Amino acid sequence: MKKNKFCQSCGMPLSKDSKGGGTEANGSKSEKYCSYCYERGKFTQPEIKTGKEMQKFCKEMMRKQGFSAFTAWLFTLSIPRLERWKNVY
């Protein structure tokens, strides 16, 4: 399995994940997703169905953390092209 540098759901650098990544159902570390998006083999926000919805969610979270609107927009641009969202319309 290919090791990713960024979460394939939200785009966060996996190196910035304080838990070292999400977990699979068997407890092993996910090589694709961060702990904010994926725990115990399931996505933590199942209500988010598209890359655009995840992009909006991430921008809101970043703004709450003090990022400027421009920086939040810039950092979330690639979300719809990540593996989780590639075939979701």
Dist CA 6 CA 15 (whole Å): 8
Task: Tell me the average pLDDT of the chain.
Answer: 94
**Residue 1: pLDDT above 60?**
no
pLDDT of residue 4: 83
> What DSSP string describes 8-75?
TTT--BGGG-TTSS-B-TTSPBPSS--TTTEETTEES-TT--SHHHHHHHHHHHHHHTT--HHHHHHH
Domain ranges of the chain: 14-85
Task: Look at residue 89 in the predicted model and tell me its pLDDT.
Answer: 61
Query: Residue 15: pLDDT above 60?
Result: yes
Look up the pTM and report it. 0.88
List pLDDT tens digits, range 49-81.
999 999 999 999 999 999 999 999 999 999 999
